[in-house]
Every structure is written in C-alpha cells, then in structure tokens.
Amino acid sequence: MSIRETPIELNTFTLFQQGDEKAFRLIFESYQPMIFARAIQFSGQVEEAEEITQEAFVQLHHYRERITGPESLYPFLHRVAKRIAVSSFRRRVLHEQYELDQRSGWEEASPALTQQLDYNELQQELEKIISELPEQQQRIYRLNKLEEHSYQDIADQVGLSKNTVRNHLALASKFVRVRLDKIFTFFL
C-alpha cells in the first residue's frame, strides 16, 4: 500500500470521528506499522519508537474530530510522530548535557550554588514558581516550555487565538524569569 492510498473507508472514518472503538482499532492496525517504521527512522531506538507511535495514536484519537478525511490520517500521524520524536530528542540531548555538566562539575558556577541547588531542587523551585501563575498561564507555559508545543498547537488545545497564547506566554515567561533570577542572585 502506498502512503497516498488510504485503507480506511469513509464509513469507518466517520465512525472513528464519532469515537467508535472498532473503527479506531482498524485505523490503528492499518497505520501502526507505517508510523512505527517512521518512528524508528526518527529515533533509532525500538522502545522510543514504540512510545512515539503510541503517543501519535493518542493524539489522533484526541484530535479525531478535526481530521478532514481518511486521506488525512497518515499525514497527521506522520507529522505528530515526527514532532514527538524531535521533542524527545531535544529532551534526551538536554538530559545528556545536564549529566555531562554534573560529572565534569560546573566550573563557572559558584561552589555554594552547586552544593545547595541540585537539579531536583531547581525543578521543585520551577514548579513552585509556575504554580503561582494564573491557571491559564500555567497551562500555556507548561505546554510551550516543558512539552514544546507550538503557539498554534496550544491555541487549538485551549481554544484561544494564537496571539492570546503568545501574550499569556510572554507574561508567564517574564514572571518565571524574574523569579528565577532572584533565586540565582540569592545563591550567587
């Protein structure tokens, strides 16, 4: 089957959009091998590819009413799997960089800071700061900064305009940055 062909009939697609479990299962069985193969290409690891594939289908189910037709299923799944793989790669690189920094020591940082603030404490402080934001800003900040969703993805999820999301994110980011600066200034 070529990527452009869709093995899903319009009737099955309509049932899927209405939340029919059997229709979703049929779509999953039809597209899972292709999406899994693409996820392996993106990530290079079987376990991670399985997680990417699973999350792509979760997103498909979540956004099923927005998909325009059966021919849009594969492009949607492919785009989502690629986005998830890129986000996963970024997190892995950041984690590896953090581990490297921890092993080699932060030579440019104050010894008092490295002794008093380890990664978990910093995470806790960040969570505390984020929890002080208004609920809408918290959600938008987490979706963008922690889960790496685009403005448009966030706007679609929370039902706001892209500009409103941008404004909320700007306010939230400024608040978080100011609070973190105060914490770092205190320790330095």
- Domains of the chain and CATH, by start: 1-104 (1.10.1740.10), 108-188 (1.10.10.10)
pLDDT at 32 over 90: yes
pLDDT band at 2 (very low <50, low <70, confident <90, very high): very low
Contact assessment for residue 137 and residue 166, using Cβ atoms and an 8 Å cutoff: no
pLDDT at 5 over 60: no
- For residue range 78-104, list pLDDT tens digits in order: 999 988 888 888 777 777 777 776 666
d(CA 31, CA 7) in angstroms, rounded, equals 9
| Percent of the residues in the chain that have a pLDDT greater than 70, as a whole number | 83
Contact assessment for residue 161 and residue 169, using Cβ atoms and an 8 Å cutoff: no
- For residue range 115-140, list pLDDT tens digits in order: 555 667 777 878 888 889 899 988 99
pLDDT at 41 over 60: yes
